[in-house]
Amino acid sequence: MSNRDFYEVLGVSQQASDNEIKRAYRKQAMRWHPDRNQDNPKAEEEFKAVQKAYEVLSDPQTRAAYDRYGHAGVEGGPGGMGGGADFSGAFGDIFSEIFGGGRRGASQAYRGADLKYSLDITLEQAAAGLKTEIRVPSWDDCETCDGSGVKPGTSPVTCSTCHGAGAVRMQQGFFSVQQTCPTCHGSGQEIKEPCTACHGAGQIRRQKTLEVNIPAGIDSGMRIRSSGNGEPGVRGGQPGDLFVEVNIKPHDIFQRDGDDLHCEVTVPFTTAALGGDIQVPTLSGKAEITIPDGTQSGKTFRLRSKGIKGVRSGFPGDLYCHIQVETPVRLTEKQKEILREFEKSLGEGGERHTPQSKSWTDRVKEFFS
């Protein structure tokens, strides 16, 4: 742990401001706190590394020494600052901000973590909105121990390490810091005989069903907040929230761009040449567009208000139909002969029938000359 870069531990750059370091510490301390990672044996080590990094980088003098000499500058070695600075005050302030308590761990309560749920819906559902049910993890008080975490008929005892204070003072190099008790994790009490049903946690993990209202016009990446349905708080803290993140599945016909829709419309060679009316799909039914004679591939037709009305929009978007002219395939000999005659008639009519081909030919000649 002593050789890890302190900036890397907190996940910030060496140019990070004091506020950025403070915010990063809060985030990492919440992430690795032993109370929230009882099944992770690495959590306590990571939590201590986060503490150590913040102790050094939160003070201008020790941060400057660390930036100049590295770990040697803050561990009392050659070039180090030495001494016996006490950072328990600063550490206690920031720690109480995160976990909301005084010095006794039993009074410390903090909010549960937020949860994220990814919900896949269709484009039609996103446009119209829907109500749906999802199943998410939930925690209920253990019925065996009534949420106490102790084996029925027994009681917790005062922690033998911190003697009920919930915190201990530790000497790390020249630092003297107050830290959450590693034995009771700040509660001030030890459970000698944990409940066999919940293994001392006091809660049982279950699944619960929630109804979610998806508003009409929602887009991929948008989130819906369900208050209080995240992880439970600790020692009376408020539960976290559940965020339902919407993902719109790919559509066979339409591509969404904000409130607008795009689709490719394939038309026969003859329709593009002679013109005609064709039907195109929309999310609300069928629509008709008129194809002028001589329409080329890439021509776009705009159908106003046939897109999607977004959740923050006053009016629906548009539908853009991109024309793709289909070239005939697997022709019979008779069909090929007809096309040869047709091509010959085009040549007799001059370049007025194929202006784009003439323009392209002229540009190629100019390029090679």
* Whole-angstrom distance, CA of residue 98 vs CA of residue 81: 29
Residue listed under structure tokens 């180090």: 80
Supply angle C-alpha 150, 151, 152, rounded to 5: 110
| Whether the Cβ atoms of residue 149 and residue 91 lie closer than 8 Å to each other | no
Q: How many CB atoms lie within 10 A of CB 133?
A: 8
Q: What is the CATH number of domain 115-143+199-248?
A: 2.60.260.20
The CATH class that applies to domain 255-358 reads mainly beta
Q: Is the fold of 115-143+199-248 the same as that of 255-358?
A: yes
pLDDT tens per residue, range 319-337: 999 999 999 999 999 999 9
Q: Evaluate the CA torsion angle 132, 137, 141, 145 in order and state its sign.
A: positive
- What angle separates helix 18-32 from helix 43-57, to the nearest 10 degrees? 170
Query: Which pLDDT does position 100 carry in this prediction?
Result: 41
pTM above 0.75, yes or no: no
How would residue 309 be classed by pLDDT, with cut points 50, 70 and 90? very high
How would residue 112 be classed by pLDDT, with cut points 50, 70 and 90? confident
How would residue 174 be classed by pLDDT, with cut points 50, 70 and 90? low
* DSSP of 279-332: EEEETTEEEEEEE-TTPPTT-EEEETT-S---TT-SS---EEEEEEEEPP-S--
Q: What is the CATH number of domain 6-107?
A: 1.10.287.110
- Identify residue 246 by its one-letter amino acid code: V
* Whole-angstrom distance, CA of residue 80 vs CA of residue 40: 34
* Whole-angstrom distance, CA of residue 245 vs CA of residue 112: 19
Residues 6 or more apart in contact with residue 119 via CB below 8 angstroms: 132, 134, 212, 214, 244, 245, 246, 247
Across all residues in the chain, what is the average pLDDT? 83
Residue 288 pairs in a beta bridge with 279
Domain locations in the chain? 6-107, 115-143+199-248, 255-358
Residues 6 or more apart in contact with residue 304 via CB below 8 angstroms: 318
